[in-house]
Amino acid sequence: MSELPKLPKVYAAISMPLEGMNRLRKLCQVTVNDRDQDPTRQEFLDGARGMDALIIYPQVTVDKELLDTAGPQLKVIGTFSVGLDHIDINLCKKRGVKVGHTPDVLTTATAEAGVNLVMATARRIQECIRAVKDGVWGTVWDNAMWLAGKEIAGSVIGIVGLGRIGLAIAKRLAAFEVSKILYTGRNSRPESAESIGAEFVTFDQLLEQSDFVIVACSANDSNKGLFNAAAFKKMKNTAILVNISRGVVVDQDALYNALKSGEIGAAGLDVTTPEPLPTSSPLLTLPNCLVTPHNAPCTVTTRNAMCELTVDNILTGLEGRPLKAPAF
Amino acid sequence: MSAASQLPKVFVVRSFPPEGISRLKQHCQVTVHEGEHTATRQEILDGARGMDALFIYPQVKIDKELLDAAGSQLKVIGTFSVGLDHIDIDLCKERGIKVGYTPDVLTTATAEAGVALVMATARRIQECIQAVKDGVWGTAWDNAMWLAGKEIAGSVIGIVGLGRIGLAIAKRLAAFEVSKILYTGRNPRPESADPIGAEFVTFDQLLEQSDFVIVACSANDSNKGLFDESAFKKMKRTAILVNISRGVVVDQDALYNALKSGEIGAAGLDVTTPEPLPTSSPLLTLPNCLVTPHIASCTVSTRNAMCELIVDNILAGLEGRPLKTPVC
């Protein structure tokens, strides 16, 4: 019997939307972890062994151990995210392993989720839902100030990281009659900032002046634990922190203390350390801390687009062509 | 002592922000229904007796019974709201009683609350919060579609009632790259609609085409129960209803059925029938029904501004001057 053409082997750490997966299956031999839970580290290592391509997501760390286990035949990794902090990019470069990610296609959904967290924390939606369900509505009035929220109009917005997502958030909030939009980062971004009149300031200036501090930067070694006790002290007591970057950018113990003591007003987090956040986390006991389960890019349109792009990245990588959306 | 008894008498049905009430007390003999609980109807009737002015809010019905109880000396009523459906305006006009309310000062806060409800329902915040607290995060994935939300970008927004608040909502959502903004009402409003490119359509057309149906009209006899079973049938199955108008505009039983059966996608309500909504309401059992306790105008700056405006209206009415913001 003549040799069957050898399809490249792909292991997917998570199941992606079916349309995209079917397209991949036509051209590759695909093994998927199709349970609803994350694979364990061992399951992932075992799954990666001998693969030509891997589909991963932020829960999966790509390091020396993983690359050694996979083997030198590994050509391409596609991460179902724009974030790359779970991947040792330098090592991948060194070993000639291409890495693709999903920039741009998830910008809108993620920005909308960021704005959603700003509005939900400003208007104390979590407390509102609770007050209605617990029958508190009608029993508290507080001089017409019960559950009084914060207005976006007239406020100072501070964006940490005016990248694609940060800019998209700023553009939307610019329609809310805000007082001003500040941003900070390693460098100013005049092309982006000018379109919305955003002002480049230092991190400390942003903390001191902002009513809403929105963390939209990529995570790396230089900003790990950026939001620590000192940062919260510099923030206004009424300020709200929204984090859609990575959990590691915030010192969670310091955040808990700051929220509990009134050092800052409230927080909305789509990302935490770890993920999932354990139900025992003290953050979940605070009425002024709203946590969503890392689903900022999760809309039907965007998830399908992320999947298609990841499949494109994998296929181009396997064929030795430039990736559709390379990380480097 | 005679001097004190010359001051006009004002009954204030709730403890509104103290600063405004203090100003009222400088010019009037003020009785306030203090405390966290709503006054009963009998307490309202008793409190109104012999008053020159009443400072009320939507929970207090102004009808023949109340005006008779107050007496013919009643000169002015100030309502802590822009909504007027709790007041028999014709009867007040007939009896020469001036009525003041709070348009404009609450537009921004209320519009922001409307947008907050649009975003919170689009991104399923209620379910997200629960999933994190219940430890479901990490146990469900659903091919990357777990808790997938709806994008505002590319969607069709339908505003029922392009008044001050409806227009403010439309202006904000216009920054979200929506596909189009439709509106309906008794008459087109080109001065408002043209700058944002909003299109006047019939109620049925709005129901059929909209992804988000936002109810921002004033309530009156002609739109009571406007959102009934047939309205929900005309809406898209994925559509989201947001109501910041009055509970009476929505047939709540029909809404429950529509949400339960999947006739429409979700609902966000800041207003209900009755208010407070009883904890036993079946709407509160639905993951896709988010209810907030009628706090759309509730920010510190707006509540203070509303109070000051009502005090201005009452003082003007007592002094026989034109009201600052008269209804009649």
Flag if A153 and B112 touch (Cβ within 8 Å): yes
Q: B303 vs A80: CB contact, 8 Å cut-off?
A: no
Closest CA to A201 of A159, A171, A250: A159
Query: Could you tell me if B127 and B68 lie in one domain?
Result: no
> Considering only alpha carbons, which residue of chain A is nearest residue B285?
A133
CA–CA distance, A139 with B278 (Å, rounded to integer): 12
User: Residue B86 domain-assigned?
Assistant: yes
Residue B6: predicted pLDDT:
86
Q: What pLDDT score does B1 carry?
A: 44
Please check whether residue B113 lies inside any domain of the structure: yes
What domain count does chain B have?
A: 2
- Please tell me which residue of chain B has the smallest CA distance to A142: B36
Q: Residue A214's beta-bridge partner residues? A: A159, A242
Q: Which domain holds residue B242?
A: 107-291
Q: Which CATH number fits the domain that encloses residue B139? A: 3.40.50.720
B152/A15 Cβ within 8 A: no
Asked whether residue B65 falls in the same domain as residue B174, the answer is no
Residue B127 has pLDDT above 80, yes or no: yes
Q: What angle do CA A192, A195, A197 make, to 5 degrees?
A: 100
Nearest to A137 among B128, B172, B276 (CB): B276
Smallest CA–CA distance from B133 into chain A, residue = A279
Check whether residue B170 and residue B305 sit in a common domain.
no
Per-residue pLDDT for B2 more than 50?
no
A307 vs B142: CB contact, 8 Å cut-off? no
- Cβ separation of A133 and B284 shorter than 8 Å? yes
State the Cα–Cα distance between residues A301 and A176, nearest whole angstrom. 26
Domain-located, residue B83: yes
**pLDDT over threshold 90, residue B105:** yes
Using the predicted structure, report yes or no on whether residue B280 has a pLDDT greater than 80.
yes
- Which residues in chain A are closer than 8 Å to B284, comparing Cβ atoms? 132-133
Same domain, B249 and B176: yes
B140 and B224, same domain (yes or no): yes
Average pLDDT, chain B: 96
Say if residue B38 is in the same domain as residue B127. Answer: no
Using a CB-CB cut-off of 8 Å, the residues of chain B touching A146 are: 295, 298
Residue B325 lies in a domain: no
pTM of the predicted model, to two decimals?
0.96
**A101 is a catalytic site residue:** no
Same domain? B97 vs B118: no
For residues B52-68, give the mean pLDDT. Answer: 98
- Asked, for residue B152, whether it belongs to a domain, the answer is yes
Same domain for B97 and B186? no
| B324 within some domain | no
pLDDT along chain A (328 residues), means of 10: 74 91 95 87 96 96 98 97 96 98 97 98 98 96 96 98 97 98 96 96 98 96 96 98 98 98 98 97 98 97 96 97 97
Q: Any CB–CB contact under 8 A between B151 and chain A? A: yes
The predicted structure's pLDDT at residue A216: 98
Residues B249 and B147 grouped into a single domain: yes
User: In this structure, is residue B257 part of a structural domain?
Assistant: yes
**Are residues B263 and B225 part of one domain?**
yes
CA distance B1 to chain A (A): 30
Residue A38: the pLDDT is 83
> pLDDT at position B106, please?
97
DSSP conformation class of A248 = G
Tell me: do B80 and B119 sit in the same domain.
no
Question: Residues B113, B76: one domain?
Answer: no
| Residue B328 forms part of a structural domain | no
**Mean of the pLDDT values across residues B43-54?**
98
Closest partner CB to B172 (pick from A131, A150, A175): A175
